[in-house]
Chain A
Amino acid sequence: MITPLTAGLGLKPQHYDAALACPAAGVWFEVHPENYMVAGGPRLAWIEAIRAAHPVSLHGVALSLAADAAPDAGHLSRLADLVGRLEPTLVSEHLAWSSWRGAYFPDLLPFRRTSATLARIAANIALTQDAVRRRIAIENPAHYLHIDGHTWSETDFLAELSRRTGCGLLLDINNVYVSANNLGYSAEDYLDGFPTDFIMEIHLAGHSTDANLGASLLVDSHDAPVAPAVWKLFERLIRRSGPRPALIERDDKLPAFTTLFAERQRAEAVLRAPIAQAA
């Protein structure tokens, strides 16, 4: 299936009806597959109805690819079943871990980027791609901690994963902005060094400031509109990479569908700008 080079929208149950009826050309919707790993019932019926009307992207949060263990076999098999059932346009996961020794921690946890972790994660990605029978995209997570002992930069690490496994990349520009702020580097430099050839999808989301530490610590909270600085970084990236599928993510403090859709339309306009210039 050819991925549409258009803007999509993260989809929450409160917006199913509006999404189903959305007439916009090229619109697509992204969900967390974990919320649809059920035997039957209305959840599956809803997402199948959406899928019948629009392209769907599955954005996983729980495969735990950066753990020192293979992904949970049951979870991977449920993901493969869902992929077979929905035939999504995109399947993605994170450069992070969330399960360890039988416990699941609903977050995207960090690790040291070394050649040893690279080999482990590459093996886990290969296993996943074999199970879902397609190329997946790996997302850069948000960072909060200074971790010593990295021997790879994140952009080189992601590029090497792509070269070894054939996976694509999901560039989350809000995560770049949040991480650069928290760890003290330049978001522009990070994006200029990002291997754009591998980008299968771009994420745009809102963030918040930490309640205790203020603006020195930004949190990837997905509970606000995309920040102006993130829009700027997105425009800068698209000028270099050309249009890529871009998604507005929103998980908390959900506004009306029309409000989110206006952000989607803004992303769509950015994607079309380079084409207009070239013409």
Chain B
Amino acid sequence: MQPVPTDPLAQFQDGFVRLLLDPDAPPDPDLAALAAQPAFAVYRNTVMKGCIDALQANFPAVARLTGEEWFRAAAAIYVRETPPAQPTLLHYGNNFADFLARFPPAAELPYLPGVARLDGYWTEAHTAADAAPLDPAVVAALSPEKLASILLHPHPAARWGWFAEGPIYTIWSRNRAGDSPDGAFDWCAEGALLSRPREAVRWRALGRAGCAFLDACAAGATAAQATAAALRSEHDADLAGIMQALLEAGALAGITSI
């Protein structure tokens, strides 16, 4: 029988993790014999491949825009900076957009962080809690006074955002759907709304006032306060059109009278 090692399991794990993350790190004396084996690369490769595959699955529009080779090289750098913190990779990369925003090789693709945010919204919408979307008839039955005082609750799967930096929604949706991203488009700010009233995630463009309206609803404002917020962001906003769009998208889940 071999002698019982004196190091506890924790010490072994500490040393092993150092070797996993940094191939050039000097190994603990206790682990030098492990680090010297070429097979150690299997663990490094498996961990790295698992993380990069997860990022590629979670950010398909980014990967389509950059090409797979560029994406996987950038993802490898992200993985070393930010290894997964959760024992599931479904949401791995929740600050990948921030990483891309300060990643020098991505500087000439200023739309990339926004596209990454929309890929992240898609995953959030896909995995959010189920809820019945708000029935438009419920809203239609309210008197204008009553409507002004209610709280409108965004659906748990609804995600939205306004992108002042450019036509992020157009770029994202053309690369997400997998169809040909041809055709000219204007370079202007855009907003997006993702929703999942039932099974599939859906998306549509949403104006600045619509985003401000949902922001206010999510923050607990009354419908009147949310309307005021929408008008502040866009003084000639079509409020009836916004409400119709939100109901059609299933972006609202319920109302509370106060």
Contact = CB atoms under 8 A, between A and B. Distances in A.
Contacts of B47: 105-107
Contact of A148 (B1, B2, B83, B126): B2
Contacts of B12: 111-112
Most buried by A among B3, B4, B88, B200: B88
A64 B86 CA distance: 12
Given A116-B9, A120-B9, A35 B127 contact: no
Contact of A41 (B1, B3, B33, B126): B126
A150 interface: yes
A68 B130 contact: no
B15 to A, nearest CB: 11
Contacts of B230: none
B154 to A, nearest CB: 15
B8 A99 contact: no
B208 interface: no
Contact of B8 (A38, A66, A110, A116): A116
Interface stretch (A196-204, A210-218, A259-267): A210-218
User: Chain B interface residue count: which class?
Assistant: 35 or more
Nearest to B39: A144
Interface string B1-37: 1111100111011101100100000000000011001
Contacts of A102: 85
Contacts of A148: 2, 33
A106 B43 contact: no
A52 interface: no
B139 interface: no
B182 interface: no
Which among B3, B8, B87 has the greatest number of chain A C-beta atoms within 10 A?
B87
Contacts of A68: 8-10, 13
Interface in A86-107: 97-107
Contacts, number: 140
B40 interface: yes
A114 B11 CA distance: 14
Given A144-B42, A219-B42, A105 B37 contact: no
Contact of A145 (B20, B40, B196): B40
Contacts of A41: 125-128, 130, 157, 196, 199
A112 B50 CA distance: 24
A151 B12 CA distance: 15
A21 B16 CA distance: 45
A268 to B, nearest CB: 30
A146 interface: yes
Contacts of B134: none
A80 to B, nearest CB: 14
Contacts of A40: 127-131, 156-157
Contact of B37 (A34, A39, A42, A146): A146
19 contacts: A34-B89, A35-B90, A38-B127, A41-B157, A41-B196, A67-B9, A72-B87, A100-B14, A101-B13, A104-B83, A104-B85, A106-B89, A109-B16, A109-B20, A109-B43, A112-B5, A115-B4, A116-B9, A148-B2
Given A110-B16, A149-B5, 8 more contacts: A39-B127, A39-B156, A64-B87, A104-B89, A105-B20, A107-B50, A116-B8, A116-B9
